[in-house]
Amino acid sequence: MQYTYIGVDSHKDTHTAVFLDCFFEKLGEIVFDNTAAAFPDFLSAAETFKQDGTIFLFGLEDVSSYGRALARFLLNNRQPVKHVNSYLVSQERKNISIAIEKNDSIDAECAARLLISKFGTLSNATDDEQYWLLRSLVVQRDFIIQSNVRLKTYLHNLLTQDFPGYHNFFDGFEGKAALAFFTKYPSAGTLKGVSEEELGQFLCENSHGALKIERARKILKATDTTSTVHEIRNATINSTLQQYVFNMKELEKAEDALAKTYAEFGTTLTSMKGLDVPSAAQILSCIGDINKFSTPAKLARYAGIAPTTYASGKKDMQYSNQRGNRELNSPP
């Protein structure tokens, strides 16, 4: 009874806050902009709905994305904030009489109801700036890798049209010599009039002497140099190759920053066999501060690797957990 409960549904442009007393009675609702300038006005307006002799208790479904700025503001203003899991909000929405509807107001009210009914089990929101930075680097690295996979597939489809056996010329197109070759000769027609000696000299210069005239002879023999030169297609290949090279440089920078940030945590995760820095950083960024888990069992349930039990009478079955953090319980 010492709290006025405030559930907040967070979105990119606006937040919706619903106020409840300890008897689940709705006291009011405020919709405000998701901007730093709007947060002080919201906190002042919230005083209108505060019950006498109580303090605020905020419940945010999102404390790491759209709701991160609000969570930080509230914590900096010494307001108690709890993280309300989105799955719990979804289940609560099914339990109340207005379950046939879904909008920001209902989700905010469900978050506030959970503050009351699950007060002791909800985790406190914290300003984990270091973990947030680590998570940002992990996501950036994954994005670059996924982008490169698509670029490599696209380049393969383009190059095999004129160089169907290009994998016999080079080990892929990631090497310096291969990139130099396909940049200068993106299609078979561009090799028209190029002699074995000229191509051999070009390959030798770009491979530090590893590829010589024999490789040039092999390429020219397997290529139809009388093919038509399509300038637009050549420009597409060159542009895609440049994007791939740029991504590889950005990936190197991201991994260097990730390694430095991970080292600041002083963990020993990489001492486990088969766990490198990117994998350890991903695990650490998903878990956050491990001190929020009072037992190993709670961490296992959060990760979704603890089995679930279905028992009835003498039957006792265990099944794999379908919940939990998908990144932590999915195979690499």
Clarify whether residues 241 and 169 are in a common domain. Answer: yes
Handedness of CA 25, 28, 31, 37 (dihedral sign): negative
pLDDT score for 274:
87
Over 90: is that where the pLDDT of 49 sits?
A: yes
CATH of the domain at 39: 3.30.420.40
Residues 257 and 279 in one domain: no
220 and 206 housed in the same domain = yes
pTM of the model: 0.73
Tell me which of 107, 127, 147 is where a domain ends.
Answer: 127
Domain end point (choices 127, 155, 178): 127
* 165 and 228 assigned to the same domain: yes
Do 170 and 189 fall into the same domain? yes
Q: In what order do the strands lie in the sheet with 123-124?
A: 26-33, 14-20, 3-10, 55-60, 81-83, 123-124
Mean pLDDT, range 81-97, rounded to an integer? 83
Domain that holds residue 277: 263-329
> Which CATH number belongs to the domain containing residue 240 in this structure?
1.10.287.4070
Domain boundary among 127, 152, 182: 127
pLDDT tens per residue, range 239-296: 999 999 999 999 999 999 999 999 999 988 899 888 899 999 998 988 888 887 888 8
Residue 3 has which token pair?
A: 């709290």
Give yes or no: residues 157 and 247 share one domain: yes
Count of domains forming the chain: 3
